[in-house]
Structure 1
Amino acid sequence: MQIEELLVDGLKHEYKITVPAKDLDERLDAILLEFRATAKIKGFRPGKAPLSLLRRMHGERAQGQLLSETMQETSAKLFEDKNLRPALRPDVDMEGEFALGKDLEYKLSVEVLPTIEVDDFKAPSLERCVAEVSDKNVAEFVERIAGQQKSFKKAPKTAKAADGDAVLINYVGRVDGVEFDGGKGEDFQLELGSGMFIPGFEEQLVGSKAGDEKIVKVTFPENYQSDDLAGKDAEFTVDVSEVRKPTDAKVDEDLAKNMGFETLAELKDSVKGQLETDNASLTRSHLKRALLDELADKYTFDVPAGMVDLEFAQIWEQIKRDAISSGEAKAEDFEGMDAPADKDEADEFRSIAERRVRLGLLLSEIGVKNDVQVNQEEVNRRIIEEARRFPGQEAQVFEYFQSNEEARAQLRAPIFEEKVVDFVLESANLKDKKVSREELEALVRAIDEEEASPAKTKKKTASKKKAPAKKTTEKKAAAKPAAKKKAPAKKAATKK
C-alpha cells in the first residue's frame, strides 16, 4: 500500500491510497477460497470446485467484498500509521473504474479530532448556590397541594357564573348547521377560565345562570388537528344545568389522609424531602452551567466543521418542530429551508453548535484521560427508562437497543457526560453561597431561557407570521368540543 498526502489544512486531511494489483489478486483468491468451502456446485464435491469456475460464478460478488474489505483495512492502516482520529466517516472517491489486474487507487478525505491537552487539567474554582428549605417553602407547597384538591359545590339557581366557577352543561356543536363528531356532550363540568375548550368558548358562559340556554359562537384554530374543522366557524347550543362555586381544601389532617399520609406532619416531612431534592437538582444545574462556561472560556481549539454542521442541523430541526407544534408555523413554511433566512440568526445557531461540539469533545477527552467509565448496568437502567415511555412495546424497545450498537451509544453518551461533570466537580474548589429557593429558581430559569434563545427567534424564521393559536384536539365523541391536548413531556438533550 502506498500513501500520498494531498492536503493537510487544519483538521482536514486528504490522501491518495494505492493498493498494488498483485495484493488485490491475492486477496480475491482468499475470498474465493472462502466461497469454495461452502459453495454447492453441481459436479463438484464441497471445497473442490476450481477457482476459475468460482471467478465466473461469484466474481462480481467477490469483487464487491474485495473492494469493501480493502478500503476498510487500508483506511484503518492509514489512520494508525498517521495517528489520526476521524471525527466522522471519511469520504472515499475511487479514481476511475476498478478492474482486476490493475492497481486500486482512491482518494480519502477526512476531518480528524483535534488534539486537546488535558494532562494538566485542574478543575476551576466555582461558586455553588445552595438553598435551604424553610418552613415557609413547605407551607406554600402544601397550600398549593390543597389548591389542587379544589372541588365545586352547587350554587343557588340565581347565582351567575364567574371566572373560576364551574358550570354543568349539555352542548351540541354545529358547523354550517350540521353537527360534527365530538361536538356533543352531556352533564359536562367545565371550569370557566381553565382554557380547556377552544378560545372564546368559556368566556361566553361567564354570567350565565342555571336554566340558561346560550348560543356560543367560536372559530376553530387554524392548526386544529381535524382538517374538517380547522379554521371554521362553529356554533354551540349550550344548556346550563348548574352553576358551581369552588371550595378549596383546607390544610388539615383530612388533607393529609386524602394524600395517603397518616398525619399532616408526615405530609409536611414528605414535602420538605421533595423540596430538598429539588433544591439539590437546581443547585447542580446551576453549578454545571457555571462549569461549562468556565471551560468554554478557558479552552479554545478548532473543531471539525462536519460535527458543527450536524449539531447545527439538529438545532434547526428542533426549532422547526417547536414552531410547528406550537402552531406558530406550518411545515410548508420551512420547505427548502436548511437554515434560517436571517443571517444573524444562522450565525447565532452556528455559534451555539460550535460551543456544544467543543465542550463535548473537551469533556470526552477529560473522561478518557481519567478513565471515567459507563458500566452496562447504567446503560440497562437507561434502556428501561426508555422502554417505560412506550407502554405495551417494552419488548420491542429492548430488542431495538440490544441489536443496535449506535442506539446504545446514543444512550451511553449523556450518561458518560454527566459522570465526567461529576468527576470534575468532585475535585473543584467550591465556595457555597446561600440563596433563597426563589433566587435559585430564578438563576436556573435564566439559564433555561438563555439556552432556549434559538427557540425564541423561531417566529422570525417562518415565511408566514401568524398569531399563535392554542393547540386543540377532539377527545371522545359526546365528550368535549375542543379540549386542549397536552403535549407529551419531551426528554431534554443535554445542553451546554
Structure 2
Amino acid sequence: MQVTETLKDGLKRGYTITLTAAELETKVTEKLVEAQPEIEMKGFRKGKVPMALLRKQYGQRLMGEAMQDAIDGAMKDHFEATGDRPAMQPKVEMQDGETWKEGDDVTVSMSYDALPEIPELDASAVTLERLVVKADEASVTEALENLAKSSQDFEPRKKTAASQDGDQVVIDFLGKVDGEAFEGGAAEDYPLVLGSGSFIPGFEEQLVGVKAGDEKNVTVTFPAEYGAAHLAGKDAVFECKIKEVKAPKAAEINDELAKKFGADDLDALKAQISERLESEYKGAARAVLKRALLDQLDGLVTFDLPEALVEAEAGQIAHQLWHEENPEVHDHNHGHVEVTDEHKALAVRRVRLGLLLAEIGRKEKIEVTDAEMTQAVLAQARQYPGQERAFFEFVQKNAQVQQQLRAPIFEDKVVDFIVAGAKVTDKEIGKDDLQKAIEALDEI
C-alpha cells in the first residue's frame, strides 16, 4: 500500500492511495479462507469446498469488499499518522475506474479540508456584563391580575342589556343547510363567549348586541377546509334563541384564587409568581450574555477556516433565509438560491465559533450526559401528545436527530465553562431594559 501526497495548500489536502494487485489478491484470499469453514455447496461437505471453486463463486464480490476494506484501513492509518482531522467526509474516487480490470493495481484519489489548529483561549481575557432583573411588585401584581382574568366567571346582565364582545351568551341553536337540519348542528343552553373564536368565523360577531329573549338567525359559511366534508364551503343558517346574557367578572385576588393554582394562600402564590418571573428574566439575560460572549470570541481567536465547511454553511443559511421569506413553499422543489456576501460573512462567523467551541469542549472533555439527552427528548416528545413512545423510537433510530438535540446542549455547556473563567460583573436593570436588550439581539 502506497500513499502519495498530491496537494498541501493551506488546509487543503490531496493524496493518491495505491493498492497493488498482489495486495488485493492476498486480501481476497484471506477473506475466502476466513469464510471457507462456513460455506456449504452441493456435492461438498460444509467447509470442504475447494478454494478454486470458492474463488469462482465469490471472488468477484469479495474483491469489492477487500478493496473497500483496504482503502478504509489506509485512510485510518493516514489520519492516525498525520494527526489530520477532516472537516467533512473525504472525497474518494477510484482512478481509471472504467478501464480497471482484475489483475491491475488499484489507485484512488482522496481529498479533504483538514481542520485547523485552533489557538488556546484565555478565558480571563473575556469580560462580560450579566444583567440581573428582580421581580418587582408591579410585575407580580400584573401576573396576578392575568391569572384572575383567566379564572373569570360570568354574572347575568340586566334583561334589557345588550351583549358586548367578551360577554357570555347562553343560547339554543339549530343549524340548517339548504333548509335541512344537519347532525351536530344543534344544542341547548350552550354558553358561548363572544370573541372567543370557538365557533365558525362570523358567527359570534353577529350575536354582539342581542338581549335575553331575542331570536336571531345567524348566517355563516363553513370554511373550505372544514373537517366535515359534507359541510365544507356550504352556507348555513343557525336559528338562535338568546336565553341569557352574562358579563365577565374577574376572580378576586385572594386565598381562594391561590388555591385554584395549587398554592396554600395568596402570599405563597405571589412567591411562586416571583420565582417564575425571575427564572424567565434569568433565561432572557443568559441569551444576552451568550451573544456578548460569542461576539467577543469572534474577535479574540483567529485561524484559517476550511473552505468546504464555510461554503456548506453559507448554502444552508441562504436556503433557510429563502424559506423564511417564502413561507408558502414547504418543500425543496424550487430554483437555485443565490449565496450572497452577507450569507458568506455569517457562515464564516458560525464556522469559526463552532470550531472554537467544539475544540474547547474536546480538550476539556465536556460531554452531554445520557440524563441530559433524555431530558431533551422528553421536552421534544411533549410536542407530540399521545405519540411520545413513537417519537422516542424515532429518535433512537435516527442519529441525525440525536445530534440535533445534542448540539445545543453541548454548546451551552461549553459556554458555561468559558463564562466560569471569564471576568463577569452583574448589573441590575429593570424588565423593560431587559426587553430592549432581547429585541436588540434580533436586530443584529
- Computing the radius of gyration from Cα coordinates, the structure with the larger value is 2
Could you state the TM-score of these two structures normalised by the residue count of structure 2?
A: 0.85
- Structure-to-structure mapping, 1:369-448, within 5 angstroms: 369-402=363-396, 405-447=399-441
**Counterpart Cα distance in 1 of 2:322 and 2:189:** 40
**Counterpart Cα distance in 1 of 2:115 and 2:177:** 61
The residue number in structure 1 matching 2:277 is: 275
Paired positions, count: 440
**1:370-420, CA deviations, whole angstroms, 9 ceiling, x for partnerless residues?**
232333333343344445554555554444545555544443322211110
**Counterpart Cα distance in 2 of 1:318 and 1:198:** 35
Could you say if the C-alpha distance between residues 284 and 36 of structure 1 is closer, same or farther in structure 2, counting changes exceeding 3 Å? same
The residue number in structure 1 matching 2:328 is: 329
Shift of 1:123: 4.8
The residue number in structure 2 matching 1:134 is: 136
**Counterpart Cα distance in 1 of 2:7 and 2:179:** 73
Q: Residues 201 and 218 of structure 1 are in contact (CA less than 8 Å); yes or no, is this contact kept in structure 2?
A: no
Q: Residues 313 and 338 of structure 1 are in contact (CA less than 8 Å); yes or no, is this contact kept in structure 2?
A: no
The residue number in structure 2 matching 1:213 is: 216
The residue number in structure 2 matching 1:41 is: 41
Could you say if the C-alpha distance between residues 394 and 217 of structure 1 is closer, same or farther in structure 2, counting changes exceeding 3 Å? closer
Q: Which deviates more, 427-436 or 211-220? A: 211-220
- Structure-to-structure mapping, 1:294-313, within 5 angstroms: 294-312=296-314
**Counterpart Cα distance in 1 of 2:146 and 2:139:** 11
Q: Which deviates more, 384-393 or 278-287? A: 384-393
The residue number in structure 1 matching 2:168 is: 166
2:337 counterpart letter in structure 1: A
Could you say if the C-alpha distance between residues 17 and 129 of structure 1 is closer, same or farther in structure 2, counting changes exceeding 3 Å? same
**1:270-327, CA deviations, whole angstroms, 9 ceiling, x for partnerless residues?**
1122122222222212111111121123334443444345545655665577678xxx
2:219 counterpart letter in structure 1: V
**Counterpart Cα distance in 2 of 1:55 and 1:420:** 54
Shift of 1:422: 0.5
Could you state the TM-score of these two structures normalised by the residue count of structure 1?
A: 0.77
Q: Which deviates more, 16-25 or 153-162? A: 153-162
Q: What secondary structure does 1:18 align onto?
A: strand
**1:323-376, CA deviations, whole angstroms, 9 ceiling, x for partnerless residues?**
78xxx62548x7323526xx7xx5544543443332211111111222323333
| Cα root mean square deviation, aligned | 3.5
The residue number in structure 2 matching 1:155 is: 157
**Counterpart Cα distance in 2 of 1:186 and 1:310:** 61
The residue number in structure 2 matching 1:255 is: 257
Q: Residues 91 and 110 of structure 2 are in contact (CA less than 8 Å); yes or no, is this contact kept in structure 1?
A: yes
Q: What secondary structure does 2:205 align onto?
A: helix
**Counterpart Cα distance in 2 of 1:230 and 1:114:** 64
Q: What secondary structure does 2:166 align onto?
A: coil
Shift of 1:103: 0.9
Q: Residues 171 and 236 of structure 1 are in contact (CA less than 8 Å); yes or no, is this contact kept in structure 2?
A: no
**Counterpart Cα distance in 1 of 2:296 and 2:400:** 31
The residue number in structure 2 matching 1:239 is: 240
Could you say if the C-alpha distance between residues 405 and 228 of structure 1 is closer, same or farther in structure 2, counting changes exceeding 3 Å? closer
Q: What secondary structure does 1:31 align onto?
A: helix
Shift of 1:442: 3.0
**Counterpart Cα distance in 2 of 1:140 and 1:433:** 24
Identity %: 38
Shift of 1:253: 1.5
Could you say if the C-alpha distance between residues 196 and 353 of structure 1 is closer, same or farther in structure 2, counting changes exceeding 3 Å? farther
The residue number in structure 2 matching 1:146 is: 148
Could you say if the C-alpha distance between residues 153 and 8 of structure 1 is closer, same or farther in structure 2, counting changes exceeding 3 Å? farther
The residue number in structure 2 matching 1:56 is: 56
Q: Which deviates more, 124-133 or 438-447? A: 438-447
